[in-house]
Amino acid sequence: GENVEQHPSTLSVQEGDSAVIKCTYSDSASNYFPWYKQELGKRPQLIIDIRSNVGEKKDQRIAVTLNKTAKHFSLHITETQPEDSAVYFCAASIGFQKLVFGTGTRLLVSP
């Protein structure tokens, strides 16, 4: 089955810096890669996703890149703000519905 590895497990940055979180997946048939943000004690919420026919997608300060050959994808957050502090999960799926999540990255943005 699919296996998703995520790193780093923790990431501390200063406000205004950029943050990059990387994930690798094992199954080359995976075609959908969402990213979820989970604040402490709250539900995971989708922040951006990308499909395998696209190499990059951007939404304001957030972007995701996908390298199908290497089977890895990354989340980029620019101009980080304290409210970006949360745990971020990547996921991969074959057919959009069976998500396999990574282990999460705890992002801390210091003022």
Partner 1 sequence: EAGVVQSPRYKIIEKKQPVAFWCNPISGHNTLYWYRQNLGQGPELLIRYENEEAVDDSQLPKDRFSAERLKGVDSTLKIQPAELGDSAVYLCASSDNDRTYEQYFGPGTRLTVT
Give the nearer residue to partner 1 in terms of CB position, either 9 or 12.
9
- Applying CB under 8 A, the residues found at the interface with partner 1 are 4, 6, 32, 34, 42-46, 49, 89, 91, 96-104
Give the nearer residue to partner 1 in terms of CB position, either 71 or 78.
71
Closest distance of CB 36 from partner 1, Å: 8
Q: What is the 3-state secondary structure (H, E, C) of the chain?
A: CCCEEEECCEEEEECCCCEEEEEEECCCCCCEEEEEEECCCCCCEEEEEEECCCCEEEECCEEEEEECCCCEEEEEECCCCHHHCEEEEEEEEECCCEEEECCCEEEEEEC
Give the nearer residue to partner 1 in terms of CB position, either 49 or 78.
49
Closest distance of CB 91 from partner 1, Å: 7
Closest distance of CB 13 from partner 1, Å: 20
